[in-house]
């Protein structure tokens, strides 16, 4: 039986139980969201005892060296003393603007109080002052002064509901990260690129497209954005203008239902993409947004010939209970 000490709490883990689940079972409050080792909300630091390498997979080397690990995927084999993630991995930020882009998408601007280095398309973990934590993709370029997030309001969502209607400019939050491998890597400048987003999956792709263009990517760049209805197609005018300004970039909006025709395709986004591009050997792909759509599009791109190593995805996994 493994014993874990966390602050003033001591608990024994059940067979096969993660450290996070063990602490939560004992009523210990620990920030968490995806419970799948991807969002980084449950980052803790080991003070004594051995952390399995799998609980540190994907973390920055500097964080690993300081004993940080993800509690949701940590299954220790020996006793462990852990403490909460500290100010050395989070920076303070102020909400400077909250722009409602559609009936359920808000654009959040954040001014960081210390440098926050990232690649466009990566994501961060946003901590509210009560410890609630959620992941959001970064939509801006590093040289733009403020961090930009696109947040969709989820019914009864604690963080998205707060950002949509409770939060005020001037509110203080904390940021941790960045995380994720979904970003443009310069090189292979003539390679065709396909980017597909559903909903606020557009946030990382908005950063990636602009990063590729400013890096001088010469190959064609095709961006598809899907929404349920036309009113969900936020930033459509801006993306159409970007496409008009760059001969190698195209933007296709796509909706499931519409009352009248418009500057969009109607149908499943995967079918719209397949009708345009059926052979993707040698292409690079980025897919972000709803987890089930991301899963099926990843398979679609692979079956159309795209190499798995050239497919970058971020599935917006909901928080687990």
Q: Which two tokens stand for residue 266?
A: 């109607």
Rounded least distance, CB 38 to ligand FAD, Å = 6
Distance between CA 300 and CA 202 in Å, rounded?
19
Rounded least distance, CB 80 to ligand FAD, Å = 26
> In this complex, which beta carbon is closest to ligand FAD, that of residue 56 or of residue 160?
160
Rounded least distance, CB 285 to ligand FAD, Å = 17
> In this complex, which beta carbon is closest to ligand FAD, that of residue 2 or of residue 151?
151
Euclidean distance between the first and final Cα of the chain, in Å?
A: 25
Among the listed residues 206, 208, 201, the one whose alpha carbon sits nearest the alpha carbon of residue 238 = 206
Rounded least distance, CB 58 to ligand FAD, Å = 12
Per the DSSP assignment, residues forming a β-bridge with 147 are 110
Q: Tell me how crowded residue 11 is: count the other CB atoms within 10 A of its CB.
A: 19
77 by Cβ neighbours in 10 Å (0-12 / 13-18 / 19+) ranks as exposed
Rounded least distance, CB 233 to ligand FAD, Å = 15
> In this complex, which beta carbon is closest to ligand FAD, that of residue 157 or of residue 267?
157
**Phi and psi torsions of 219, nearest 5°:** -70, 165
Which residue has the closest beta carbon to ligand FAD?
A: 157
Distance between CA 303 and CA 152 in Å, rounded?
30
Strands of the sheet with 90-100, listed across from one edge: 133-137, 123-127, 172-179, 90-100, 105-112, 147-152
Beta strands in 203-297 (DSSP E): 221-227, 249-255, 265-266, 284-289
Q: Which residues bind ligand FAD (CB under 6 A)?
A: 34, 38-39, 123, 134-137, 149-152, 154, 156-161, 200, 203, 314, 316-319
Rounded least distance, CB 59 to ligand FAD, Å = 15
Rounded least distance, CB 171 to ligand FAD, Å = 16
Rounded to the nearest angstrom, the gap between the alpha carbon of residue 49 and the centroid of all alpha carbons in its chain is 31
Helix (H, G, I), strand (E, B) or coil at 79: coil
Rounded least distance, CB 318 to ligand FAD, Å = 3
Angle of the 236-245 helix axis to the 202-214 helix axis, nearest 10:
20
């Amino acid at each position: 039986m493994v014993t874990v000490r966390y602050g003033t709490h001591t608990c024994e883990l059940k067979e096969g139980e993660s450290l996070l689940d063990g602490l939560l079972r004992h009523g210990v409050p620990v920030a968490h969201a995806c419970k799948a080792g991807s969002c980084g909300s449950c980052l803790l630091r080991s003070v004594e005892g051995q952390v399995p390498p799998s609980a540190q997979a994907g973390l920055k080397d500097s964080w690993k060296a300081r004993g940080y690990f993800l509690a949701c995927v940590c299954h220790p084999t020996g006793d462990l003393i852990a403490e909460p993630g500290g100010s050395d991995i989070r920076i303070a930020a102020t909400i400077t603007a909250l722009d409602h882009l559609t009936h359920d998408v808000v654009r959040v601007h954040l001014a960081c109080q210390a440098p926050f280095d990232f690649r466009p398309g990566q994501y961060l973990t946003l901590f509210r002052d009560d410890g609630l934590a959620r992941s959001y993709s970064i939509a801006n370029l590093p040289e733009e002064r403020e961090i930009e997030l696109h947040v969709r309001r989820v019914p009864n969502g604690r963080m998205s509901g707060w950002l949509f209607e409770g939060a005020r400019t001037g509110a203080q939050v904390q940021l941790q990260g960045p995380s994720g491998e979904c970003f443009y890597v310069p090189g292979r400048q003539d390679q065709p690129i396909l980017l597909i987003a559903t909903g606020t999956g557009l946030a990382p792709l908005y950063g990636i497209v602009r990063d590729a263009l400013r890096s001088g990517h010469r190959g064609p760049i095709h961006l598809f954005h899907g929404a349920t209805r036309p009113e969900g197609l936020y930033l459509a005018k801006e993306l159409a203008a970007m496409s008009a300004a760059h001969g190698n970039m195209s933007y296709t909006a796509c909706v499931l239902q519409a009352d009248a025709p418009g500057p969009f395709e109607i149908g499943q986004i995967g079918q719209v993409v397949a009708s345009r591009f059926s052979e993707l050997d040698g292409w690079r792909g980025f897919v972000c947004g709803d987890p089930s759509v991301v899963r099926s599009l990843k398979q679609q791109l692979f079956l159309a010939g795209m190499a798995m190593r050239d497919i970058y995805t971020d599935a917006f996994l909901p928080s687990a209970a």
